[in-house]
Amino acid sequence: MRLSIAAKINFFLLFIFSMVLVFSAAYQAVRERDLILTLIKEQSREQSEAYFDGLNMLMLTGKMDARDTLRNKFLEHAHVEDARIVRGEAVSKQFGPGRATEQSKDEFDELALAGKGSLEVVHDDMHSRLVVTRPLLAKKDFRGTDCTSCHLVPENTVLGAVRFDYSLDSLFTRVEQNILTSALILTSIFGMGLLLTLWVIRTWIVRPLNQLTRSMEEATDQHDFGHRLEGDDGDEIGRVALAYNQMLDSVERQLGKRPTAQGKQDKPQD
């Protein structure tokens, strides 16, 4: 395959850059999703506690009829898709079945009523959500409240559960946008780097090499050994030019030939 040095180096740089881009994007995606989940799990812990504290206040003050207002307030919170209380059998037996939203609806509710809380990310089709349930047990002393004074059940009976569903879509979309932005920034930095590399290769490698080639061609085609190249021993190509000049000197001496009229000046040619 015939490719210039510049093209080869640029292909190589492009390869390295693509690897860096892919790995950094993947790493960023994993890290940011983790961070979001950690934060929203923390939020869910606080909100489910606050929801139950609010509800408990209503029980203690005999205002349980107003519990829909409490629920609506939590539904207004950011990323909350659904918030509700799942009513346990013990409560239904004593006080009636409650609202339609308070019935057990899926396996997470069932698990919660069996005393097992969940904290799980669920993906269905294009939609991701975090499901949080927290069972509510009848305690003799739940932050100073005796649940069994009103709920006539043995201690540790599951009275119900708090259930929150958080939508993760908008958060995950934001992660994707962040990754896209940083990919664009990386790409433009790389583009500038590539242009700079091209320029450096052209001025420091390609141009001096072209001069050498032209001078060699003139020497062989026209037997004109008078031209000398510009060069210093600062770098490898400069040293090649100096060695070439010395070679021409030596050729001229061996031929016993002084420079011809047309190529007389020892001035370096362009």
* Residues found near ligand HEC in the complex (CB under 6 A): 56, 59-60, 64, 67, 85, 87, 91, 95-96, 98, 102, 136, 138-139, 142, 145, 147, 149-151, 159-160
Q: Which is nearer to ligand HEC, 158 or 248 (CB)?
A: 158
Taking the complex as a whole, the smallest distance from the CB of residue 144 to ligand HEC amounts, in Å, to 9
Q: Which is nearer to ligand HEC, 25 or 111 (CB)?
A: 111
Q: Which is nearer to ligand HEC, 136 or 201 (CB)?
A: 136
Q: Which is nearer to ligand HEC, 155 or 169 (CB)?
A: 155
Q: Is 223 left (phi over 0), alpha (psi -120 to 50) or beta?
A: left
Q: List all residues 6 or more positions away from 250 whose beta carbon is below 8 Å from its beta carbon.
A: none
Judged by DSSP in three states, 116 sits in: coil
Taking the complex as a whole, the smallest distance from the CB of residue 42 to ligand HEC amounts, in Å, to 22
Taking the complex as a whole, the smallest distance from the CB of residue 183 to ligand HEC amounts, in Å, to 48
Distance CA 23, CA 135 (A): 41
Taking the complex as a whole, the smallest distance from the CB of residue 171 to ligand HEC amounts, in Å, to 29
Cα 159-162-164 angle, rounded to 5 deg: 160
CA dihedral 40, 46, 51, 56 (to 10 degrees): 160
Q: Which is nearer to ligand HEC, 59 or 242 (CB)?
A: 59
Angle between helices 5-60 and 67-75 (to 10 degrees): 170
Taking the complex as a whole, the smallest distance from the CB of residue 18 to ligand HEC amounts, in Å, to 55
